[in-house]
Amino acid sequence: MTEHVNPLRDPQDRRLPRIAGPSVLVIFGVTGDLSRKKLMPAVYDLANRGLLPPGFGLVGFARRDWADQDFAKEVHDSVKEHARTPFREEVWQQLLEGIRFVPGEFSDDQAFETLKETIQELDEQRGTGGNHAFYLSIPPSFFDDVVGQLRRHGMADEKGQGWRRVVIEKPFGHDLRSARELNDIVSTVFPPESVFRIDHYLGKETVQNLLAFRFANQMFEPIWNNNYVSHVQITMAEDIGIGGRAGYYDGIGAARDVIQNHLMQLMALTAMEEPTSFEAAQLRTEKQKVLGAARPPVDIDAHTARGQYSTGWQGGEKVKGFLEEDGIKPDSFTETYAAIRVDIDNRRWAGVPFYLRSAKRMPRRVTEIALNFKRAPHLPFTSTDTEELGINALVMRIQPDEGITMRFGAKVPSTQMEIREVSMDFNYGGSFTESSPEAYERLILDVLLGEPPLFPQHEEVELSWQILDPILNRWAELGGPVDQYESGTWGPQSGIDMLARDGFVWRRP
C-alpha cells in the first residue's frame, strides 16, 4: 500500500506523490461525525500511503474527560470502521506515538495553555518543526472563540519558526453579510494565505478530472459554449434523509447546505475559461470571473423550486417525512429539495441556463453535471425515423458510478431507418486499476503541503452568496408551507414545472 516516493524527484513532476513535511494537525471538534467518519480515517489513510512524515502529531481538542489513550482508542475505532485502506498495525503504531488529547471548552484559557504546551512538546519529541495546522471542525458560531484563543495564547503567529494554518469547514456563513463577518473574524488572526476553506467536492477525483477533461483535450472545448449547448443540469441527489443532523439542518436547508458551495463550485469549474496555469491564483481568478458573471433568475418564483420530503418508501423501508423527523419543528420552512436557475452573462454562456438542484430522499445517490446540446439545425429524416432520438448530452458522473457518458442517436440495426438514443461510457473502474483517494485525504495533505488551489477563497464564497441571497430572501418572504414530495421520488411538481417553463425536462440519472 505504501507509495514509494523518490526524495530526488523533480519538483515539477506532479505524477509523483509528495510527502507532507513535519507538522502537527490539531482538530477542534473531534467528537463530531465529520471527524469520526472522514478526518481521522483520512489521516490514517495518508499515513498508510506513506504520505505523512515520521515527525507528525495529531492533537484532538474537545469537551470530553479523556486522556491521550481514550482519544487514541476513538481514532483507532474510527479508522477500523471508516478507513479506505487496510489496517496495518505498524502504521497505526507509528501514528499512535504522535496522538495527544487536550480536554476543554473553547472559552477555557487554561485548556488553550495546555494545548500550547502539548504542541510544543510534540515539536520537541517528534520533531514536528513548529508547523501547526488548526482544523476547525466546529460550528461557525465558535470560530470567534477559537481563533481568539489561538491568537491570545500565541499559537497563531509564525514568529519565523514554521508555519501556522487554519482550516475551516462550511457553512461559510448563512448569507452574504454573515459570511463577511465570519471572514473578518478569521482574517484578523490569520492572513489569507494561511486560511484553507474546505469544500470537499473539490477534493473529489472526478471533480479534478473536470479540468483534465476540459483542458487536456481538443475535441470538447469547441462545443463547450452557447453555439452548441442548450442548457446545463447539475444534480446532487442523495437517498438519505437528514439523519441525526436536525440541529444543523433546520434553518439551513439544501440551498445553503450544498448549492452555495459544492454546486456553485461545480458550476464554476464547468463554465470557467481556461486558466493560464493550475496555480491557485490563476484558477481562482477564472472561477471568480464566472461567478461574478452569474446571476439569479429574473423571475425567482418561476425559476426556482423548493420542497420537503414527506413520508414514503425507500430501500424497501417506510421512512419518515422531514416534518416528522426528531428535532425538526413541525412548521419548519427549511427545504430538503432546492432547484435554481442561474444565468451567466458572458459571451460563452449568454442564453444557456444552468439548473442546479439538490435534495435528500431522492430515489438514489447521484451527483452529475450534464451538458445538454441543441438539436441539429436540420434533420434529414422523417419525424418517425427520429421519434426515439433524445437530445445529445455529455454527462460527467461525479459519483458514485464515476465516469463520463455521451448520449447520442444511432441507427437501429435493420433494413429500415430508425434512430434511437444510445450511450458511450467511460468508467473509472474499467480504465484504471488505481482507486480514487477520498476527498479529505487529498485536502488534508494539501493543507500540510501548503498547496492552495483546491481551496476556495473568500471572494468566491461572497460571489456565491450574492447569487443565492435574493433567492433565499424571496423564499423567506413566501414562508410556508413548502411543497411536499414523497420520499424516494425526484422532487416536487414545482421542480418539474420550473424546467417545463423553459421547454426542458430534468434528466433521470
Report the C-alpha gap between 199 and 264 in whole angstroms.
11
User: Cβ neighbours of residue 108 under 8 Å, at least 6 residues apart?
Assistant: none
Shortest Å distance, C-beta 305 to ligand BG6: 19
Binding pattern for the stretch 349-368 against ligand BG6, x by CB under 6 A and - elsewhere: ------------------x-
* DSSP secondary structure letter of residue 323: G
**408's grid cell:** 447520442
Closer Cβ to ligand BG6, 99 or 258, answer by number: 258
Q: Which residues of 452-484 are buried (b: 16+ CB within 10 A; e: fewer)?
A: bbbbbbbbbbbbbbbbbbebbeebeeeeeebbb
User: Cβ neighbours of residue 304 under 8 Å, at least 6 residues apart?
Assistant: 296, 297, 338, 339, 340, 341, 471, 474, 475, 498
Shortest Å distance, C-beta 276 to ligand BG6: 30
Shortest Å distance, C-beta 367 to ligand BG6: 6
Could you write out the three-class secondary structure of 126-194?
A: HCCCCCEEEEECCCHHHHHHHHHHHHHCCCCCCCCCCCEEEEEECCCCCCHHHHHHHHHHHHCCCCHHH
Shortest Å distance, C-beta 196 to ligand BG6: 16
Residue with CB nearest ligand BG6? 257
Instruction: Answer yes or no: 262 catalytic.
Output: yes
Q: For residues 104, 106, 111 and 114, what is the CA-based torsion angle, rounded to 10 degrees?
A: 110
Residue choice 258, 294, 396, 447 for contact with ligand BG6 (CB under 6 A): 258
Binding pattern for the stretch 188-227 against ligand BG6, x by CB under 6 A and - elsewhere: ----------------------------------------
Closer Cβ to ligand BG6, 238 or 402, answer by number: 238
Binding pattern for the stretch 366-385 against ligand BG6, x by CB under 6 A and - elsewhere: -x------------------
Shortest Å distance, C-beta 257 to ligand BG6: 5
Closer Cβ to ligand BG6, 257 or 462, answer by number: 257
Selection from 170, 217, 63, 68 nearest residue 455 by Cα? 170
Binding pattern for the stretch 232-251 against ligand BG6, x by CB under 6 A and - elsewhere: ------x-------------
**Of the residues 76, 132, 231, 262, which is catalytic?**
262
Shortest Å distance, C-beta 258 to ligand BG6: 5
Closer Cβ to ligand BG6, 57 or 456, answer by number: 456
* DSSP secondary structure letter of residue 321: -
Other Cβ atoms closer than 10 A to 228: 13
Angle, alpha carbons 245-246-250 (nearest 5°):
125
Residue choice 74, 123, 257, 335 for contact with ligand BG6 (CB under 6 A): 257
Closer Cβ to ligand BG6, 174 or 289, answer by number: 174
Shortest Å distance, C-beta 342 to ligand BG6: 19
How many CA within 13 A on the CB side of residue 225? 10
Closer Cβ to ligand BG6, 37 or 374, answer by number: 37
User: What is the total count of residues that contact ligand BG6 (CB under 6 A)?
Assistant: 4
**89's grid cell:** 498495525
Chain residues 313-332 in contact with ligand BG6, contact rule CB under 6 A? none
Closer Cβ to ligand BG6, 255 or 258, answer by number: 258
Report the C-alpha gap between 450 and 468 in whole angstroms.
30
Shortest Å distance, C-beta 33 to ligand BG6: 10
Closer Cβ to ligand BG6, 293 or 439, answer by number: 439
* DSSP secondary structure letter of residue 350: T
Closer Cβ to ligand BG6, 258 or 362, answer by number: 258
Q: Does 402 bind ligand BG6 (CB under 6 A)?
A: no
Shortest Å distance, C-beta 199 to ligand BG6: 8
Chain residues 417-456 in contact with ligand BG6, contact rule CB under 6 A? none
Query: What distances in angstroms separate CA 439 from CA 83, 204, 396, 399, one per listed residue?
Result: 12, 5, 17, 12
Closer Cβ to ligand BG6, 31 or 187, answer by number: 31
Q: How far apart are the first and last CA of the chain?
A: 34
Q: If 0-12 CB within 10 Å is exposed, 13-18 middle and 19+ buried, where does residue 74 land?
A: buried
Residue type, 100: R
Report the C-alpha gap between 198 and 172 in whole angstroms.
10
- Give the start-end residues of each E strand in 388-505: 393-399, 403-411, 419-427, 483-486
Report the C-alpha gap between 357 and 338 in whole angstroms.
6
Cell numbers 501514528 label which residue?
Answer: 95
Residues that bind ligand BG6 (CB under 6 A): 238, 257-258, 367
Q: Which residues are known catalytic residues? A: 262
